[in-house]
Amino acid sequence: MSFESKKKDSKKSTIVIVGGGFGGLTLVGSLSTAIDPLKHNVVLIDARPTFMPLPSTLRLVVSDVDDLMRRSLHPYGDHTFRNKLAGNGTFIHGSVTEIKFGEAGQGGSVVLDNGEVVQYDILVLATGSAWPSPINFPTESKSAIEEFVQARREEFAKASDILLVGGGAVGIELGGELRDAFPSKAITIIHRATHLLNTTYPDKYRTGLQKQLEARNITVLTGDSITESDASKLVEGHLSGAELVTEQGRKLKPDLVIPTWGARPNTSYLPADLLSSSGHVKVLPTFQLPAHPNVFAIGDIIEWKEQKSAAKAAYFQAPKVMKNIFEYLHLAEAAGSREINLSASKKSSKYSGSMEMILITNGKGGGMGYFDVLWGIVIGGWLASLMKSKDLMVSRLPGITGYTPK
């Protein structure tokens, strides 16, 4: 029996969460302590069968240090649903191809790539970002992910001169992990802007990160980039082993070129009228889609003038979405057929943004953090290592996923 037909036989309302990243899983965890399982079903859908914690993935694809294949790849399952959701939650492995929205806040359905249709009364979109090739993991199975990881490790081990194209967080952290694993390899990061990262962060932080990299014999080329033609070849997987001439005329001869530029929002399943020009989902301060009040969006995919991060989705957005879901359900029960205006409710929770904060690793022992409080606080290697670099927060994952690695 499909989930669609099950729903038709049930008087419960169904909350569907698409995306089991930090934001989606935090929301599941929050719902598990507050939901009435006699009134509501919860369904979690994710394109992959396992949780992929972004902070640990760059170390994962470089080497087998810290046994991250076992410790950080947590499968979804019954353990995902705890407390009041124990035995009352459903995980579905599948990629969303289309959302069929209901009329005027009525329920709709989620169409998956395997043809399955999942009906919803409340829908939360938390599909995150699509990342460049070193961490663009396959979706079909855990074994496929493991094969992908092994292939990346072999690729890095074989190379002698590695070029990372993009000096954002991914490029910086991958450079640090590569230097930990391969002390003598030539590693270069090329970045179009005059400083690493972007102008959200102060120059002292951006130059500090560059100095850390250069102190580890990682070459950093700023104010330059590979040509558009070479970038297109890199995306298509056809750029390797050739001499490159950068836009500033530098000649580079890497035997491995890795794209480490920024991510893009994973929203291809949505119609263009719901998206901004950058592909992000347009939302109200209540995280609702303006034309679909029973549909919420959270995390990397939302159009909001701030940097995207797992911490913001988990700590600053998910709690507000949970509160708004319950308030919406309460208003819907009281309103009957009348239009529901969640934004007008004094009990709704509105988002006004979060402070900018970032922790970037440089291998296990280094890194820097920035917190946009007071005058702007920058923390150095020792504290960054203690907070993130050493363990990449892997020891905290069971509390998020409900899974304990064996």
What pLDDT, on a 0 to 100 scale, did the predictor assign at position 248? 96
Computed on alpha carbons and rounded to an integer, the radius of gyration of the chain in Å comes to: 22
Closest among 202, 137, 209, 224 to 173, alpha carbons compared: 209
> Which two three-digit tokens encode residue 76?
């979804």
> Which two three-digit tokens encode residue 383?
């504290």
Report which DSSP code applies to 172: H
Q: How far apart are CA 282 and CA 25, in angstroms?
A: 22
Closest among 26, 19, 81, 16 to 313, alpha carbons compared: 26
Q: How far apart are CA 17 and CA 120, in angstroms?
A: 9
**Share above pLDDT 90 across residues of the chain, in percent, rounded to a whole number:** 85
Report which DSSP code applies to 207: H
Q: How far apart are CA 215 and CA 145, in angstroms?
A: 34
Q: How far apart are CA 164 and CA 261, in angstroms?
A: 9
* E strand intervals along 96-160: 96-100, 108-112, 117-120, 122-125, 129-130
Name which of 22-26, 80-84, 228-232, 363-367 the model is least confident about: 228-232
pTM passes above 0.85: yes
Q: Which domains does the chain have, with CATH numbers?
A: 3-131+264-344 (3.50.50.60), 133-262+356-397 (3.50.50.60)
Instruction: Name the residue with higher pLDDT: 337 or 105.
Output: 105
User: Residues 6 or more apart from 363 whose CB is under 8 A from it?
Assistant: 176, 177, 179, 180, 216, 389
Cα 249 to Cα 223, 224, 243, 245, 256, distances in angstroms: 12, 9, 12, 6, 19
Q: Is the pLDDT of residue 4 over 70?
A: no
What pLDDT, on a 0 to 100 scale, did the predictor assign at position 100? 97
DSSP H or E stretch at residue 204: helix 203-215
Name which of 274-288, 301-315, 377-391 the model is least confident about: 377-391
Q: Which ranges in 65-168 belong to alpha helices (H)?
A: 68-71, 142-158
Q: Is the pLDDT of residue 240 over 50?
A: yes
Q: How far apart are CA 284 and CA 291, in angstroms?
A: 10
| Average pLDDT of the segment spanning 76-99 | 96
